[in-house]
Structure 1
């Protein structure tokens, strides 16, 4: 009880001080020290409860006061840590239970990778729809949030829609956008309008649902997916010493998932080296002037050339794509050369080079059938005879290739439900990834948004 009184007295004193401020220059070191103490009291009060996972998570985040964010709490990812920002004007109006709920709210955003997933639907939906969708997708799991928080009920009433529980952020964004568009159609385009950035600094004194995640726009190109994944994995693993919420267990397993095939060993055993220019060496004499010991000779520079073909047809499920991503990232990691990625359904949709994990792009949203021949036709047309081909597919395609492969080294990797390759003559060995358990894929590929794990793909 004494701790509770101490907390409340400190909160009221700090809030009274904030009310006197005109701009961020009024923030004193003493205030920051006392405010940090308040956050520590709030965090420590979570340690002895079922919320200790969230306490251990937020204790690893750096803190900073920021008066111009239009919500109580916001967070961004930096190279080695997450940083959490507080607007004390809004935050200090909350009770200790509401403060704890807001801290949990930020952890949910991080664990569900909303940082990167929001990028994938930016432009498809308005910033207002995306922002509110992110919040309603997680707020339904958090108790004691401040009354201004976006929840299924109040957002449904605002846009005259019926939001169901347990949908993904992307599905909520679609429904909310439809509600926004209907309101615009009935009441004119000015009824809901995105606000531009403020030109001058102002202390933000209330929560703005549209700009609550504005910090992410300043930070969105700072890190790629792989960096954010590793950062989240490190902090989440440390926090796992506490009681892990049920909805986070699968995410933690996914963060720790390893490739099934040992690509380092496989590539070393099966892929030859191809000439790629020359390098100077003192161990060999120059052929034209063998008596000149001061002239270095030449050795062929050898590299490995790999083509990774990916089946992106409608029959490929989200779980299969997830596993393909893991395997491809491992191939890139264990190869010293540039890799060519070819994405194909019933035709080649995209071809690009990848030297590093950050070069792997997000999956295209296609609904085509499956055909293997276009990849081999492309390779023949580009005279890529000496490449090693690794083809990821569920195995459902033609029985006979329309184009005989010109490559000697071809490996087929079957994903998920694929029990065998449809080709009568695959021209190479076939391996199967056994760890994927999937339901039958929707043959029409009706969903026009990807599920949560697909949002892990970053450009």
Structure 2
């Protein structure tokens, strides 16, 4: 099988080069690269043979997962394979001129590589961190994680040993993506990011890439459909469940368990703490840090983020929210006020905004208005769009419109659903969705003394199973 795949790959590579040469000689600048149907048929026949090998392997999870994916050819990606989420399914793309020079086992590893990115929820996790870290740091950190579990990698693959050697690091194996990206970004900040990158010998046309580029390996993710985190995770779980036809390796089983437990691993309050670090306003000069651009100039001050954000906290006061749930939401607001020194505005809304007010301390929080209208989310977003805010936290039972009008602009969004809610009605939530632990449907009025005692703990909400500095 290995020899047969190698000979087929050689012939197909020659045909791919002919296609590229013809395009460069005959096409106009804005003309798309046309791929002959006969080439597509022969190429995917080879890919089917590779997948057959995956399905015959003891760890056949990858073969069944790959079988469910859409498959297309693109000459404009800077890696052998790439994935994104399009049309309610995962699609894997192949660049023939990079993929066909791999050996059979390397082809299998390239497919496994993309599937591990999906199972690790890297498409989601990278999205959450892209405002804090460079594209190169994110790409390398993600590849370090998945390549740790793969054999038969191509020589240019980003591995832990390669990163340690080229950036003078001593990173241990089997750490999280978030751990690696922070360490790698620090190393990148100490030197020019271009210094250690392989030269790009691609043909100078954006429609054709002929070599691997670590800065662009996941660019295609940006063209994925805009779906909220909860929806994408549910789709991923369906793919995973349909792929488990045999015994899983230990590392795959651990990855899948971590994926399915992601909600409980990162309680909403810890997630809030995490994103608050990404919405700082402005920069302040400091002599405690060297200038990033010219570290050798000790006379130039460095810069630190000024950690003060403008936050809106929207409270759903519609008739579908019980007093107990409203009380629970106010307790969460108290924790935000107590622990974060930011500019915070409360917005109370049912089918329209009923009241807005600024809070500086717990004493500023007001009792609930005695209004029980329907539920609309759009009035809050319409108001927020004109206020230049950094973060909107929306406490709700999730039952409102299926579409936001207008579309949110320029700020992060955290939806916090009441414990009895299973989903958010908005199809494109444009933010992250978390849940509170269910509360008893008691109808006692909100007693602010319960909050002011300060005895409330988020440990009553969700089990905290990870630490965040």
Aligned residue for 1:47?
55
1:93 maps to 2:101: yes
Cα pair distance change 1:352/1:56, threshold 3 Å: farther
Give 1:205-284 correspondences, 5 Å limit: 205-219=210-224, 222-253=226-257
- Distance in 2 between the 1:250 and 1:211 partners? 28
Give 1:282-293 correspondences, 5 Å limit: none
Aligned residue for 1:122?
130
1:76–1:215 contact (8 Å) kept in structure 2? yes
C-alpha displacement at 1:211, in angstroms?
0.4
Q: Which has the larger radius of gyration?
A: 1
1:237–1:252 contact (8 Å) kept in structure 2? no
- Distance in 2 between the 1:48 and 1:182 partners? 46
Q: Give the TM-score taking structure 2 as reference length.
A: 0.59
2:33–2:207 contact (8 Å) kept in structure 1? no
Aligned residue for 1:414?
none
1:311–1:393 contact (8 Å) kept in structure 2? no
1:134 maps to 2:142: yes
Aligned residue for 1:384?
369
C-alpha displacement at 1:78, in angstroms?
2.1
Cα pair distance change 1:88/1:354, threshold 3 Å: farther
Query: Secondary structure of 1:77's match?
Result: strand
1:135–1:150 contact (8 Å) kept in structure 2? yes
- Distance in 2 between the 1:201 and 1:32 partners? 21
- Distance in 2 between the 1:376 and 1:422 partners? 8
Aligned residue for 1:301?
none
Give 1:150-165 correspondences, 5 Å limit: 150-165=158-173
Instruction: Give per-residue Cα distances to partners, 1:57-113, cap 9 Å, x unaligned.
Output: 011000000000011100001242100000000000001100111111011100111
Instruction: Give per-residue Cα distances to partners, 1:29-81, cap 9 Å, x unaligned.
Output: 01111111111100111222223001100110000000000111000012421
Partner of residue 12 from structure 1, selected from 10, 13, 24: 10
Partner of residue 107 from structure 1, selected from 115, 123, 143: 115
- Distance in 2 between the 1:217 and 1:312 partners? 26
- Distance in 1 between the 2:198 and 2:154 partners? 24
- Distance in 2 between the 1:156 and 1:179 partners? 10
Cα pair distance change 1:314/1:69, threshold 3 Å: closer
Instruction: Give per-residue Cα distances to partners, 1:267-322, cap 9 Å, x unaligned.
Output: xxxxxxxxxxxxxxxxxxxxxxxxxxxxxxxxxxxxxxxxxx97559999xxxxxx
Query: Secondary structure of 1:82's match?
Result: strand
- Distance in 1 between the 2:263 and 2:270 partners? 19
Query: Secondary structure of 2:93's match?
Result: strand
The number of residues matched between the two structures is: 331
Q: Give the TM-score taking structure 1 as reference length.
A: 0.60
Cα pair distance change 1:177/1:424, threshold 3 Å: closer
Aligned residue for 1:306?
none
Query: Secondary structure of 1:43's match?
Result: helix
Q: Which runs of 5+ in 1 are unaligned?
A: 261-308, 317-331, 356-372, 395-406, 412-420, 448-459
Give me the CA root mean square deviation: 4.6
Query: Secondary structure of 1:12's match?
Result: helix
Instruction: Give per-residue Cα distances to partners, 1:344-395, cap 9 Å, x unaligned.
Output: 341576657899xxxxxxxxxxxxxxxxx95674233xx535689979999x
1:180–1:192 contact (8 Å) kept in structure 2? no
Query: Secondary structure of 2:11's match?
Result: helix
- Distance in 2 between the 1:223 and 1:212 partners? 21
Cα pair distance change 1:110/1:38, threshold 3 Å: same
Aligned residue for 2:387?
none
1:57–1:238 contact (8 Å) kept in structure 2? yes
- Distance in 2 between the 1:129 and 1:379 partners? 45
Deviates more, 1:58-67 or 1:15-24: 15-24
C-alpha displacement at 1:218, in angstroms?
2.2
- Distance in 1 between the 2:15 and 2:89 partners? 30
Query: Secondary structure of 1:19's match?
Result: helix
- Distance in 2 between the 1:13 and 1:84 partners? 22
Query: Secondary structure of 1:20's match?
Result: helix
C-alpha displacement at 1:126, in angstroms?
1.1
- Distance in 1 between the 2:262 and 2:138 partners? 31
- Distance in 1 between the 2:465 and 2:38 partners? 56
Aligned residue for 2:379?
none
Cα pair distance change 1:124/1:256, threshold 3 Å: closer
Query: Secondary structure of 1:25's match?
Result: coil
